[in-house]
């Protein structure tokens, strides 16, 4: 989807960890429940298994828990890694 009259894609400034914190705060969910909503349920809708299969490229997201919630501090897909 593009912004009308613009060559740029429409998007959002929302981050996954920010959305996760909002759901936890607004609905009182714990991390495991909110994380499942953000990961497992969309995968199921897409017909994908909830976890990696043997031989899949490794994907990791590293989280940090602070007093005000959970934050992504890094991610890795195969040999590529990035720190937040």
Give, for all 84 residues of the chain, the pLDDT tens digit. Answer: 666 777 777 777 788 899 899 999 999 999 999 988 888 888 888 888 877 788 888 788 899 999 989 999 998 888 888 997
H helices present in 1-84, as ranges: 16-27, 31-38, 40-45
Is residue 2 within 8 Å of 9, Cβ to Cβ? yes
Closest to 73 (Cα-Cα) out of 17, 33, 30: 17
Q: What is the pTM of this model?
A: 0.66
Sheet holding 69-77, edge to edge: 59-66, 69-77, 80-83
- Where are the domains positioned within the chain? 16-83
Residues across the chain: 84
- Number of Cβ within 10 Å of residue 67's Cβ equals 4
Structure tokens at 6: 């613009």
């Amino acid at each position: 989807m593009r912004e009308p009259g613009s060559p740029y894609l429409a998007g959002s400034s929302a981050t996954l960890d920010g959305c996760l914190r909002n759901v936890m705060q607004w609905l009182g969910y714990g991390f495991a429940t909110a994380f499942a909503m953000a990961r497992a349920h969309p995968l199921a809708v897409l017909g994908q298994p909830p976890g990696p299969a043997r031989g899949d490229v490794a994907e990791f997201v590293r989280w940090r828990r602070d007093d005000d919630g959970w934050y992504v501090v890094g991610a890795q897909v195969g040999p590529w890694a990035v720190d937040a």
